[in-house]
Amino acid sequence: MDKEDLSFQVSQATGVNVRECYQCGKCTGGCPVGERMDLRPSVIMRMLQSGDAASEEEILRSNSIWLCLTCETCYSRCPMELDIPKVFDYLREKSYAEGKVNSDAHDIVAFHKSFLNAVERNGRLHEMSLVLDYKIHTGNLFQDVLLAPEMFSKGKLHILPERIKDRKGFARLFKDQFKKRKS
Amino acid sequence: MKIGFYPGCSLTGSSREYNESLLAIAKEAGVELCEIKDWNCCGATAAHNLNKELSLSLPARNLALAEFEGMDELVVPCAACFNRLVMTQHELSEKEDLRKLISEKLQMPLRNGIKIYNVLQFLEKHIVPRLDQLVKSPLTFDVACYYGCLLVRPQQVMKSERFEDPMTMDVIMQKLGANAIDWPFKTECCGAGFSVSKTEIVGELSGKIVRNATDRGAKAIVVACPMCHSNLDMRRPAIDNYLNMKMDIPVIYITQAIALAMGLTPTQAGIQRHFVPVNLTVNR
C-alpha cells in the first residue's frame, strides 16, 4: 500500500484495511439506498483496493458517500466486519473539505451544514433556525411550508431557541473546525 | 432512585410527546430522572458526516458533564443521540490519546466510564419489573414493533444479540397485553436524517415499512426513536405519495403505549401531538 493511496489514509484514519474485502457484495445487497448510488458500497471498496488515482477521485466526487444513511446494515452483515460507514465518514469529510461534493448531494450537505450552524449558535438544535438556514442556503423556500403551522399547533415547534449557558466553552469546540475547507 | 437523563434536542421540540410520556411513566414507577445540567446537542448525523472531531467532542461534553454531576447511569431515549454517545464512549475508550485530546479541548476531565442506557434497556431494568402492579388498562391490539437502525447496530458496539430480529420491545408490548406481530421490517432504515433534504427517499423507505406493518394486520407501529417517529408519522404525505394510497396506521412511542396501559390519559401520553390520528382501543 502506497502512502499516497487513499486506502492508506483510510486505514490510518479508521483502522479499516480495505484489502480484507473479498467482494461478497453483502453490503451492496443490504444497502437501502444502493439502487440510487452511482458507485455501490462493494464497488467503492474494490476501487479503494485498486489504488488508482482516477478511481479515488471518482469516489470523492460520487453521490454514494452522501446518499449513505449510516444505517450500519453493511457493517453489521460484513463477514470481515469491515466498518464501511466509518470509511464513508472519512471519505465524506475529505470530499467536503476538498470541495468535491457531488451535485446530487448539495441539499444533503446544505442540511448538515445548516444543522451544525444552528448547533454552534445555541448549543442545542433549534429546529426552526435549522429549517430557515437550510431554506436560505438551498433556495427551497416553499418546501414544507404547510408543515410548520401544524407542527406549531401541536406544540412541536418553538419560536425561540433554548440556549446553553457555557457559550464560551462551547464555542471553543467549533473553533477552526471548518477553516481549511476549499469551496 | 435517581438516574441521569440526556433528553437531546428532538425531545424538547418535534418529539416532545416522547419526553412527556417517558417522564410520566417514570413518575408512576417511582423513578427520578435527573437531566444533565447545560447539556448540548450530540451533533447527530451532521457532525459525523462532516467533521470527525465535532462528532466526538459534542457527545463527550455531555458525558463529562454527567460525570461532573456524579452520575453513574445515563438514560438516552433518543436512539440517534444514544448511538452517538455510545460510539463516542467506545472510540475514546479504545484510543487513549484521542480521549486526552478531547478532554483537553473540553477543558474538563473525562473518565469515560458512565453506563449509558437506551430507552429499551432503561425500561427493562426500571419499569418492566414493576409492570405487573402498574398495568391497569391492558392493550388488546396487534402491534408491529419497529426498532430501526441505531438501537441495534453496529452490534459490535451496541452489544445487541439479535440485531436482525430484536425482541426486547416485542416482549414489553406482550407484557402490556398487546400482540406483537412477526414481521420482516423491524430493523430496516426509515430514511433517517433525509427527512428534509431527500424527502422522497424517506417516502420510499418509510413507505415500505408502513405498508408491511399494515399488510400484516398491525393496528399500530411502536417505535423508540424520534427520527423513526417523525419519518413514519409526520412524513405520511410522502409515504402515501410513494405508495399511491392513504395509509392510516398510527405510530406510537413505546413509552406512550406503556402510559396508556398504566391507565394514564391519552393527553398525558401526548397522543394529541401526532399527525396521524391515534384511535386505539384500550381496556378500561
Share of chain B above pLDDT 90, in %: 94
Q: What is the predicted pLDDT for the residue at B127?
A: 96
Average pLDDT (B195-222) is 96
Q: Please tell me the distance from the alpha carbon of residue A89 to that of residue B47, in angstroms, as a whole number.
A: 10
Model confidence at A1: pLDDT above 80: no
Q: Please tell me the distance from the alpha carbon of residue B108 to that of residue B131, in angstroms, as a whole number.
A: 40
- Three-state DSSP class for residue B223: strand
Partner-chain contact B193 A124, CB within 8 Å: no
Q: What is the predicted pLDDT for the residue at B94?
A: 94
B20 neighbors B10 (Cβ within 8 angstroms): no
Q: What is the predicted pLDDT for the residue at A183?
A: 54
- Three-state DSSP class for residue B222: strand
Q: What is the predicted pLDDT for the residue at A42?
A: 98
Domain range annotation of chain B: 2-119, 134-273
User: At residue A94, what are phi and psi to the nearest 5 degrees?
Assistant: -70, -45
CATH code for the part of the protein at A6-98: 1.10.1060.10
Domain range annotation of chain A: 6-98, 104-174
All residues of chain A having their beta carbon less than 8 Å from the beta carbon of residue B275 are 150, 154
Model confidence at A81: pLDDT above 80: yes
Nearest to A177 by CA among B89, B52, B61: B52
Find residues 107-146 of chain A whose CB sits inside 8 Å of chain B.
Answer: 107-113, 115-116, 119, 123-127, 131, 134, 143-144
Band (pLDDT 50/70/90 cuts) for residue A148 is confident
Q: Which residues pair with B73 in a beta bridge?
A: B115
Partner-chain contact B51 A124, CB within 8 Å: no
Q: What is the predicted pLDDT for the residue at A180?
A: 63
Nearest to B58 by CA among B78, B35, B81: B81
CATH code for the part of the protein at B2-119: 1.20.1050.140
- Residue B114 DSSP class: P
Out of A115, A131, A165, the one facing B38 most closely (by C-beta) is A165
How near does any CA of chain A get to the CA of B127, in Å? 27
- Cell numbers 451533533 correspond to B43
Per-residue pLDDT of B72-108, as tens digits, reads: 999 999 999 999 999 999 999 999 999 999 999 999 9
Q: Which residue has the higher pLDDT, A156 or B148?
A: B148
Per-residue pLDDT of B3-17, as tens digits, reads: 999 999 999 989 999
Partner-chain contact B155 A169, CB within 8 Å: no
CATH code for the part of the protein at B134-273: 3.40.50.11810
